Amino acid sequence: MNKTIIVKGALALGLSLSAVSALASPTCSEAPQSEWLPADEMRARINEMGYEIKTFQTTDGGCYEIYGWDDQKHRVEIYFDPVSGDIVKQEVDD
């Protein structure tokens, strides 16, 4: 009986950890920050793409991340590669 409880507990823990990692931010770049686009330049590029920035930050995964709105006023969370400026991951709320 104790083995069953331990196995079920380990399984539950494994599933919850995989769910947490699925929600984690992506890895965008492993390049040193000296190779990144300057934050002010990246903000300007994002604005030129039509996004309004509420929050701009750097993630542990080497991304520039914004929270804000697109040109249709949908809320967005977007991760950018800080070297190329390309979008790596984007979430849009209707």
| pLDDT tens-digit map of 67-78 | 999 999 999 999
Q: How far apart are CA 88 and CA 1, in angstroms?
A: 47
pLDDT for 6 beyond 50: yes
What value does the mean pLDDT take over residues 59-70? Answer: 97
What value does the mean pLDDT take over residues 42-65? Answer: 97
pLDDT for 7 beyond 60: no
- pLDDT tier for residue 14 given thresholds of 50, 70 and 90: low
Please give the residue range of the domain that contains residue 78.
25-92
CATH of the domain at 82: 3.10.450.40
66 found inside a domain: yes
What is the number of structural domains in the chain? 1
The pLDDT tens digits for 17-38 are 444 444 578 999 999 999 999 9
